[in-house]
Amino acid sequence: MNDFSERKILLVDDTKTNIDILVQALQGECRLSVALSGQKALDFARSTRPDLILLDVVMPGMDGFMVCRELKADPETRDIPIIFITAVDDPRHKTKGLEAGAVDYITKPFEISEVKARVRTHLSLKIARETLTNQNQILEDRVRERTLELEKTQAEVIYRLGLAAEYRDMETGQHIRRMSEFCRILARAAGIEPKQADLMATACTMHDVGKIGIPDHILLKPGKLNVQEWEIMKTHCDIGRRLLAGGDSDILRMAEVIAGTHHERWDGTGYPLGLSGEDIPLSGRIACVCDVFDALISKRPYKEAWPLDLAVEEIRDKSGQFFDPRLAALFGAFRPQVEAIAGHYK
């Protein structure tokens, strides 16, 4: 059995005798409030949010139909169930009330047992709806938590795979961490919304996963690669794209694009497809800027690390040649953030 003692009912009737009968019928059942006009009923309902309204139809000024329509038009009060009370026993009258949004009708003169039964029924239904809403919210929260957990796990796995590729290249995980953060801030600066920028930041950690397929004598060679070795090295883009191809998730699809296009150049001189300009996917263009910059400031077997100033200048100098001019300009504009990331992930 439901306990209605804390449930609030608003009684609306311009005739005090009718109010007295309703109070007598419902006292002790729940918490009762009274309004003697339509406008007062509206004001009370909006400020107090009763659980149920018993509403007279025929009242001077604002009648019950008008009050009901006003309440149903307001998102804050539209879910309050309304029972019309009326002396007019006309099916057309009832239809009009139900169309206005009422859930039930009680005809005057009141039968106390009927009033109690109707009120209990509709309060029970409201409690059931609230319970269902709460359960649905709990389920939605659990699904959201589980989704976030899965996304976090997926991102962690992707990061670990990217890390495995970098270790073969005698790099630490700091390279892909820097790449990730550089891509995030450049994507946001380019107008990409935060969630998509975060997706790109995670996907770009897989940009060099194809190096898993490059022989050690080439990948780890301390000197300059010869022509044949360089052609083999360039295949890491296709290897990475194939490794990531066919994924169902957004993050794997983006990682596939980045792995396959992060060495394309704005002027068409890049590889593996020789794409140019905006034919290169935006994610690939962003990864290109960030990858080259990080390569410049990193020590490699064949070179020393460049100072940040020279690396930023190189990005600017190669604008329109290697890099999307807009992205190159944006990258140079947030030098403090770039320097902070480079300093944090040494």
Count of other CB atoms within 10 angstroms of residue 228: 9
C-beta of residue 102 within 8 angstroms of C-beta of residue 63? no
The helix/strand/coil state of 215 is coil
In the chain, residues under CATH classification 3.40.50.2300 are 8-138
pLDDT at 335: 77
Q: How many residues does the chain have?
A: 346
C-beta of residue 54 within 8 angstroms of C-beta of residue 85? yes
User: Which listed CATH number (3.30.420.10, 1.10.3210.10, 2.40.50.140, 1.10.1050.10) goes with 169-344?
Assistant: 1.10.3210.10
Cβ-proximal residues to 275 (8 Å cutoff; 6+ apart), any chain: 261, 264, 268
Cα–Cα distance for residue pair 153/241, rounded to 1 Å? 22
Cα–Cα distance for residue pair 87/109, rounded to 1 Å? 7
Return the closest-CA partner of residue 251 out of 331, 174, 153, 146: 153
CATH class of 8-138: alpha beta
Mean pLDDT of successive 10-residue stretches along the chain, which has 346 residues: 82 90 87 92 92 91 90 92 83 80 86 87 89 85 76 65 58 74 93 93 88 86 88 94 86 92 96 96 96 87 82 92 95 82 76
Element (H, E) at 116: helix 112-168
What is the pairing mode between strands 82-86 and 8-12?
Answer: unpaired
Helix ranges (DSSP H) in 220-345: 227-234, 236-244, 250-261, 282-297, 308-317, 325-333, 335-344
Cα–Cα distance for residue pair 295/208, rounded to 1 Å? 12
In the chain, residues under CATH classification 1.10.3210.10 are 169-344
First to last CA, the chain: 66
pLDDT at 266: 97
pLDDT at 82: 94
pLDDT at 191: 94
Hey, CA dihedral for 237, 240, 242, 246, is it positive or negative?
negative
- DSSP per position, 264-276: --TTS--SSS---
In this structure, what DSSP letter does residue 277 have? G
Enter the pTM of the model. Answer: 0.59
Rg (CA), the chain: 35
